[in-house]
Amino acid sequence: MVQRVGQRAASVQKLLLSLMMEETELCFPELFNTSCRRPKRPYFENMLIYIPLSSISLLTVILNLLVIISIAHFRQLHTTTNLILLSLAISDFFLGILMFFLIVVIDGCWFLGDLMCALYQYLGYIITSASIGTMVIISIDRYVAICYPLHYSTKITIQRVQMCICLCWICSVVFQSLVLNDVLKQPGRFNSCFGECVFVINYIAGLFDLVFSFIAPITVIVLLYVRVFVVAVSQARIMRSQLAPVRLQKSVTVTVKKSELKAARTLGVVVLVFLTCMCPYYCVTLSEQDDYMNARSTVFVLSLFYFNSCLNPIIYAFFYSWFRKSIKLIVTLQILQPDSCEANML
């Protein structure tokens, strides 16, 4: 009798397990008790997720690669402002690559191991922190150019910009190494099953990351750009009030001011779009009741944040004529010609 009950219980258990298998798939079938389960989604839903994300990721990589080649190749574009844009394009380029891994996370099964999961998080935090730091440098650059135009060439030099960019990336690496210390020491320690890749933020580390990677930089950016646009509006009024017949020296001065104002407007749009795409991620982080944040639960805000990296080159194409010219030269392979780096791009 006991044997029959045991056999019947075993058969019921097998039936329940088979029903569970119909609703979900195991990431690692050989590890039935410890493997994560991949939720079954309709084919149309999968295509609705994978195709747009893959397209955005590929477009982000290609467009930012065009920006990197343009600024690095053509000598006329080796200006202080463009060097900062180069740093931003490099961070956006790597974010585009990381977006491919986001697709793997959305799928529900991480097959690359705990070490690669920790490395994915680590690189993502470093690049994000460097992008925010670059935005601060852009704001400082525009602040000096608009508010102190006569001292811009002496205060903002190529060497100083290069040093600031290097310090920005080095500080990002050091700071995020401290923030993600627990993740780097023992990758996968917070995973509940094999095939899972979660984002874990320690309370104290997350607080520091929130202050130094979000609140402080955003405050600096907003304050500087408020000052920039106040001065820009006053300068625009002065230029409109000038009479048509002006001296040559004044005409040159006006041209310089117009170019600086245009750069301020363009980079202002870049900063505004950046804040719009970044704020939802930190709002979700602030709204979490615990320190355990699954990547799949924040897929929308992460996708929005990554999508910003695709928008920056599009903004350049609309506002910068040199970027449109460089794209034409790159696509037609004219950059392979001798002395193509000396081409007139402005």
Q: Which of 235, 232, 222 is nearest to 265 (CA)?
A: 232
pLDDT mean across residues, the chain: 76
Inside any domain, residue 49: no
Q: How many CB atoms lie within 10 A of CB 341?
A: 15
pLDDT per residue over 171-215, tens digit each?
999 988 888 887 788 787 777 777 777 766 777 777 887 888 888
* Residues 6 or more apart in contact with residue 113 via CB below 8 angstroms: none
In a domain, 38, yes or no: no
Number of domains in the chain: 1
Tell me the mean pLDDT in the region 231-236.
71
On the question of pLDDT at 338 being above 90, the answer is no
**C-alpha span between 22 and 68 (Å, rounded):** 48
Q: How does 201-231 read in b/e, with b if 16+ C-beta sit within 10 Å? A: beeebbeebeebbbeebbeebeebbeebbeb
Give the pLDDT band (50/70/90) at residue 170: very high
User: What CATH number corresponds to the domain at position 219?
Assistant: 1.20.1070.10
Model pLDDT, residue 158 = 92
CB 104 within 8 A of CB 54: no
Residue 179 lies in a domain: yes
Give residue 264's pLDDT: 67
Rounded mean pLDDT, 278-303 = 60
Residue range 104-130: mean pLDDT, rounded: 83
CB 164 within 8 A of CB 195: no
- Region 309-319: mean pLDDT is 81
Confidence of residue 242 (pLDDT cuts 50, 70, 90): low
Tokens, residue 81: 């402002």
The model's pLDDT over 23-76, given as tens digits with 9 standing for 90+, comes to 557 777 776 677 777 767 677 767 777 787 888 889 999 999 999 999 999 998
The pLDDT value recorded for residue 321 is 85
Instruction: Return the percentage of the chain with pLDDT > 70, whole number.
Output: 75
- Does the CA dihedral 305-309-314-316 come out positive or negative? positive
% the chain with pLDDT above 90? 16
143 domain-assigned: yes
Please determine, for residue 278, whether its predicted confidence score (pLDDT) is greater than 70. Answer: yes
Is 188 a domain residue? yes
> What residue numbers bound the domain in which 157 lies?
62-240+249-342
The reply to whether the predicted model has a pTM over 0.95 is no
In a domain, residue 5? The reply is: no
**56 falls within a domain:** no
In a domain, 217, yes or no: yes
Ranges 19-28, 172-181, 224-233, 234-243, most confident = 172-181
